[in-house]
Amino acid sequence: MSLDPLPKYRFLVTLDPGDAYLPAAQALLLPLAASGAFQEVTGLGAQLEVTSYAEGGRNDSVHQLPLRHSWNRITLKRGVVRDPGLWSWYQAGLADSLGARRDGAVIVLGPDGVPGAAWAFHGGLAAKWTGPDLHAEQNAIAVESLEIAHEGLTKVLQDAAASALPRLIQGR
């Protein structure tokens, strides 16, 4: 196992179908959210809200007490394609937020293409879709973005990520 830092330009994003959250008959009616070739993923993170509590008679420090934990939204960006996968997922959430929930993962690959780190998110909901900024004087790719609000991240061990990669690629 190499101790070199992983490059940030080699990664995969997987989005599972929403059938884990619905009865089977309803799950068949939902379009699958497409995994895609994303150019950018941001928002892998969390924070713990704390409050300061000054104890009477103690003047050298203030206690820091935890209140609640929250997860950042994960933002996926990619070039606009004709496949309406991300837009369809967002629209499904407008009609039925339970049925539009999906699990997924962000997998960072090493220089040799082997997964080096992975984070799985749970109960993801397409919370914000942003269309491309268009400009007639620029020769650039039209980019759409999708923000995913989720109920938690799990750091997946390297061995588990490496063994899951062939299954993830074949299933897409």
- 103-157 pLDDT, tens digit per residue, is 888 888 888 888 888 999 998 998 999 989 999 999 988 999 999 999 999 998 6
Rounded to two decimals, the pTM is 0.76
Between the alpha carbon of residue 159 and those of residues 16, 62, 87, the distances in Å are: 20, 42, 33
- 27-39 pLDDT, tens digit per residue, is 555 544 445 678 8
Residue 130 or 23, more confident: 130
pLDDT of residue 34: 42
- 62-95 pLDDT, tens digit per residue, is 999 999 999 999 999 988 877 777 888 888 888 8
Domains contained in the chain, CATH given = 11-50+65-156 (2.30.110)
Pick from 36, 27, 43, 17: nearest CA to 149: 43
pLDDT of residue 89: 82
pLDDT of residue 151: 93
CA separation for the pair 74, 94 (Å, rounded): 19
Per-residue pLDDT band at 26 (split at 50, 70, 90): low
